[in-house]
A and B are shown apart, each in its own frame.
Chain A
C-alpha cells in the first residue's frame, strides 16, 4: 500500500475511535432515553436470584427487583422502555458495564470496597455469607476442616479471594462458572465447593438429589448484594435506589422475598430480624 494510503487509514481509524468515544459519553439516563432500551446484566445459573427456569425463561429474585427499577425508569423518563437482559459472569460483568453494553448488573454481585473503585452500588438488597456445599457425610464442617482439601471456587468471586488470602492451607481449584464447579463436586473431583450460602442452598434444591447435599460452615465472609452501575452517574443511581426504597417501604420487596425464599418456595431461607431492620433503615425519609 502507498504511504499516503496508510496515513489516511490510520487517520480514519483514530477518528472513528475518538468519534465512538465521544458518542458514548452521555449519562445512563440519556442513553436509555435515546435508545429506548434498558439493558440489565443477569445470570444463566444463579438460582434463585437470576437463572433460566424449567420453562426456559429468565427468572429470579434479582430479575424481579430489576423489573421494579424498569417501571421506575419508565415513570421517570415518561416513555416506554424496552427491558433487555444480557448474560454476565463474575469476570465479564464489570467490563460489560464500563463498556456500556449493560446499564445495571442485577444478580448476585457482592458490594466491596475495591469494586467501588470501578463501579457504584445500589442499596444492599440481600445479605449472605460464604459456606461450603459437600456430599452428605463428608468430614468437612467448616474452615477448620479444609486444610489440604480440594475446594472448588468460582473465578472472580469474593469467596475465592477470602479463601486464597485467609486459608492458604486449602487447595483451591478455580472454575470460570458455577456449573463446572458443581459438576466437579458431583464427580468427587473436589471435596467441597465454596460460594455464598444462599446460592449453595439454591444449588442443593435445584439438584436432582437434594438430600445428597449438605451446606456447612459459618459464613467465612460477609456478602451484601447490591446492583452495580457505572461510576459517578448520580441521577441514574437515584432512580435505582428510589425504586428499591419504595419496594421496601411499600412491601413489594417482602412479597418478592416470600415468593423466592418463603416456606413454600424452592429455596426456603427465612429473613433474619437483623436483616429486616437493616433493610428498613436503608430507606431514607421521603
Chain B
C-alpha cells in the first residue's frame, strides 16, 4: 500500500544511495553476516535434524519420545520468540564468567545462531523423518538380517537413501532458514535487512534500500536452489529414485 502513496506524492528515485559510501560497505558487511549466520546455523540445524529425525523413527520408544519432545517444543514457538529467549533469557542462566565471555565475543550473533539452528533443526528433523519413513521397512529388516546393527543399518543404508529422498523439501527448509535470519536484526545483529534499513533511515530512500535487500535475498535463494538441484542430480542412485523426468515435460 505504501507504494501507491509514494507514486502519488513526488517520490524521486535515487539508486546511487546504494553504492555511495558508507552504504555499500554496510550492505556488503550485512550480506557477509547473513551468509555467516545462515551457514553456521544451517550446519548445526542439519546435524540436529539428522540426529532427531532418525531418533523419531527407531524402534525404541524412549528415544522416540525424546526426539518428539524436542521437535514439538522447538517448532511450535515462533522464531521471533526464540530469538528473544536466546538473547534476553538463556544467557542469564549461565554463570557470569561464561556470560561475560559471550558478551565480549558477539553475544547477539551467537544467540541468533542458537535460535535459528535449534528452530530449523526441529523442522528439518520432520523432513528427515518423512524421508526415512518413505523407505520400505524391508530395507531395515534386510540390513538387520545381514548382520548389521541398528546404528549401522541407519548409517549405511537408511540415512543415505533418506537424504537423497528429501532434497526437495530440505531445499525448501534451507531457503526458509536463510530468509529467517533477517529476524536477527531485532536482537541487534547487523545482517542484510539491518543494513538495508540502516540505509533507509540515513537517506529516507526506502524503496531503493529495501529493493536492494530483496534482490540480494532473491539471488541467494535462486543460487541455493540451483545448487540443490545439481546435488540432487549428481547423487541420484540410478533406478532407486525416478525423479529425473519432470511432470511438465
Contact = CB atoms under 8 A, between A and B. Distances in A.
A8 to B, nearest CB: 21
Interface string B15-50: 000000000000000000000000000000000000
- Interface size class on chain B is 20 to 34
A256 interface: no
Contacts of A17: 4, 7
A189 B202 CA distance: 26
B8 interface: yes
Task: Name the prevailing secondary structure of the A interface residues.
Answer: mixed
B88 A25 contact: no
Task: Name the prevailing secondary structure of the B interface residues.
Answer: helix
A155 B189 CA distance: 12
Contacts of A23: 8
A174 B59 CA distance: 49
Nearest to B4: A20
A254 interface: no
B185 interface: yes
A221 to B, nearest CB: 15
Given A20-B8, A24-B4, A188-B103, A155 B186 contact: no
A174 B194 contact: yes
Contacts of A99: 1-6
Contact of B8 (A25, A117, A118): A25
Interface in A10-53: 17-18, 20-25
B126 interface: no
Contacts of A101: 2, 5
A161 interface: yes
B201 A90 contact: yes
A55 interface: no
A196 to B, nearest CB: 16
Interface string B191-224: 0001001101111101000000000000000000
Nearest to A176: B186
A115 B201 CA distance: 9
Interface in B91-114: 91-92, 99, 103, 107-108
A142 interface: no
A85 interface: no
**Interface core residue of B1, B8, B103, B187 (most chain A CB under 10 Å):** B8
**Interface core residue of B3, B4, B7, B91 (most chain A CB under 10 Å):** B4
Contacts of A117: 204
B186 A230 contact: no
Interface stretch (A179-187, A257-265, A277-285): A179-187
B230 interface: no
A250 interface: no
A86 to B, nearest CB: 13
The 10 closest A-B pairs by CB, nearest first: A99-B5, A156-B201, A24-B8, A118-B204, A21-B8, A99-B2, A21-B7, A20-B4, A173-B188, A100-B5
19 contacts: A20-B7, A22-B8, A23-B8, A25-B8, A90-B201, A98-B6, A98-B11, A99-B1, A100-B9, A101-B5, A173-B108, A174-B188, A174-B198, A180-B188, A183-B88, A184-B188, A187-B88, A189-B91, A231-B10
